[in-house]
Each structure stands twice: as C-alpha cells, then as structure tokens.
Amino acid sequence: MALDAQWSAVARGYRNALILAAVLGAIAVGLGFAVHEPLVGPFICVGLGLGGYNARKLWNDTTSLDPTADHPRGAVMKTSLSRLGIITVFAVLVALVYRQDGWAVFVGLVAFQLVMMSLLVKPLRRVVAP
C-alpha cells in the first residue's frame, strides 16, 4: 500500500474520532440533563474539545517539524510540553473554579484520547511499521 494511502487512512481515522467525539458530547449533554446535573455534559464537551485541540496541534506540530534542524527531539519535546501544559492548566483551572462539576473536563479528555487511539491504532501501525 502506498504511503499516501496509509496517511489518508490516518486522516480518516482522525476525522472519525472528531465526529464520534461530537456524538459523545451530545449524548453527555443529554444524559447530564436526564440525571439533573446540567453542567456535567457541557464540561465533558469542553474536555472533548480540549482533546480535539490537542490532537490538531499535535498533527500541525508533527507536519511542521524540520528533520534537518539541530536537535529535532528537543523541538518535539518543547512543543509537546507547552501544548500539554496549556491544556492541563486550563483543565485544572476549570476543575478548581467549578469544583462540583469541573472534574467532568478530565472525563472528556480521557474519553477523547480513548476514542482517538482506538480509531488510529490500526492505521498508524501500517504507517510506522510498513
């Protein structure tokens, strides 16, 4: 299989992860209202959005790397730490400000990562180890 076709499978898996995250967010909002916790669903949606932001920034950072630059691993580490630091600080602030329901942001982050990895493991395996 050509490398372009393999990467298109990864992109398709990423797009499907975003769609499934949106569906999960809508379900979370509905369930939150059903159990009389109307803020839990939107906070899960915030977590899903942060997970989507993280995945998109990772994709952009990965495609913009220059392998001929000095210390490419250092550049990857710097961008990863800054991206994850921003997301973590935002999630912790939401959890602290909204103590009763803010924990749901972390549920959304975890849910997005599980969805994304379950949809991308197979296509990424083909790209990394052809």
Per residue in 15-66, pLDDT (tens digit) is: 899 999 999 999 999 999 999 999 999 999 999 999 999 988 888 877 777 7
CA distances, 116 to each of 6, 32, 63, 71, 83 (Å) = 17, 23, 18, 29, 17
CA distances, 13 to each of 10, 17, 51, 74, 116 (Å) = 5, 6, 15, 28, 8
DSSP 69: S
- Region 68-78: mean pLDDT is 77
Coil, strand or helix at 36: coil
Which one has a higher pLDDT value, 73 or 28?
Answer: 28
pLDDT at 72 over 60: yes
Give the global pTM. 0.84
Q: What is the pLDDT of residue 92?
A: 94
Q: What is the pLDDT of residue 128?
A: 73
- Of 43-47, 53-57, 110-114, 125-129, the range with the lowest mean pLDDT is 125-129
Coil, strand or helix at 111: helix
Q: What is the pLDDT of residue 87?
A: 93
Are 124 and 10 spatial neighbours (Cβ–Cβ below 8 Å)?
yes
DSSP 70: S
Give percent of the chain above pLDDT 90: 52
